[in-house]
């Protein structure tokens, strides 16, 4: 009992000293150990799965919804997540963890998890929560678009994400108006 108490105290003091002397480097350029990455990824996946797996997915094949999502994506997401024809960016290369590239062949995730992350953001990653300025329907539009992004070439992507005026006033699918949207971005 006594030994455990002494060891715990020493551990706490050592931990405190490591923090106080700034041994842990918070620089984004200082990469985690492989084991730390796996651990953090596991924490992230479990946290998202538990919260997202009961979310009901609407029909994501609606053309209007996909087009609406494409316009949002082009406007708000490409700086970090890239797109067909956008192969690198300063934000994408400088962020750590690096934002996933949705056109990568090995990228997959469930619509529920994507919806949850876009809505709520991810702590300490740089991924913002978009719910303060967007309705659930608008977030589903982005998820619907993400399901199609891999199959698009540059011309198709450019055409799909083009603002159509009416389409970009959020297609009458929400109470969100253009001014408000542009003001926010």
- Chain residues binding ligand HEC by CB under 6 A are 44, 72-73, 76-77, 79-81, 91, 95, 97, 99-100, 109, 113-114, 117-118, 122, 125-128, 130, 142
Q: Which is nearer to ligand HEC, 118 or 152 (CB)?
A: 118
Least gap, CB of 48 to ligand HEC (angstroms): 8
Residue labelled with tokens 């797996």: 53
Least gap, CB of 10 to ligand HEC (angstroms): 34
| CA distances, 71 to each of 55, 78, 109 (Å) | 24, 11, 21
Q: Which is nearer to ligand HEC, 10 or 43 (CB)?
A: 43
Query: What does the alpha-carbon distance between residue 37 and residue 97 come to, in Å, rounded to a whole number?
Result: 9
Least gap, CB of 34 to ligand HEC (angstroms): 14
Cβ atoms 89, 78 nearer than 8 A: yes
Q: Which is nearer to ligand HEC, 1 or 88 (CB)?
A: 88
Query: Quick one: tokens of 116?
Result: 């949850």
Least gap, CB of 112 to ligand HEC (angstroms): 11
| Residue 165 CB-density burial (10 A; 0-12 exposed, 13-18 middle, 19+ buried) | exposed
Cβ atoms 34, 40 nearer than 8 A: no
Q: Which is nearer to ligand HEC, 65 or 118 (CB)?
A: 118
């Amino acid at each position: 009992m006594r030994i455990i108490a002494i060891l715990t105290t020493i551990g706490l003091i050592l931990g405190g000293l490591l923090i106080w002397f700034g041994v842990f480097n918070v620089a984004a350029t200082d990469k985690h150990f492989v084991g730390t990455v796996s651990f953090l990824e596991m924490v992230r996946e479990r946290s998202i799965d538990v919260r997202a797996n009961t979310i009901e997915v609407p029909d994501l094949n609606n053309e209007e919804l996909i087009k609406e999502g494409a316009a949002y994506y082009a406007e708000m997401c490409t700086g970090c997540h890239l797109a067909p024809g956008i192969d690198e960016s300063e934000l994408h290369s400088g962020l750590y963890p690096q934002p996933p590239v949705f056109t990568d062949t090995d990228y997959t995730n469930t619509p529920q998890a994507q919806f949850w992350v876009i809505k709520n953001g991810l702590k300490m990653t740089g991924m913002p929560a978009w719910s303060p300025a967007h309705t659930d329907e608008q977030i589903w539009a982005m998820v619907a678009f993400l399901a199609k992004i891999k199959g698009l070439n540059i011309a198709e992507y450019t055409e799909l994400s083009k603002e159509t005026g009416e389409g970009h006033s959020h297609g009458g699918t929400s109470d969100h108006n253009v001014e408000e949207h542009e003001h926010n971005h």
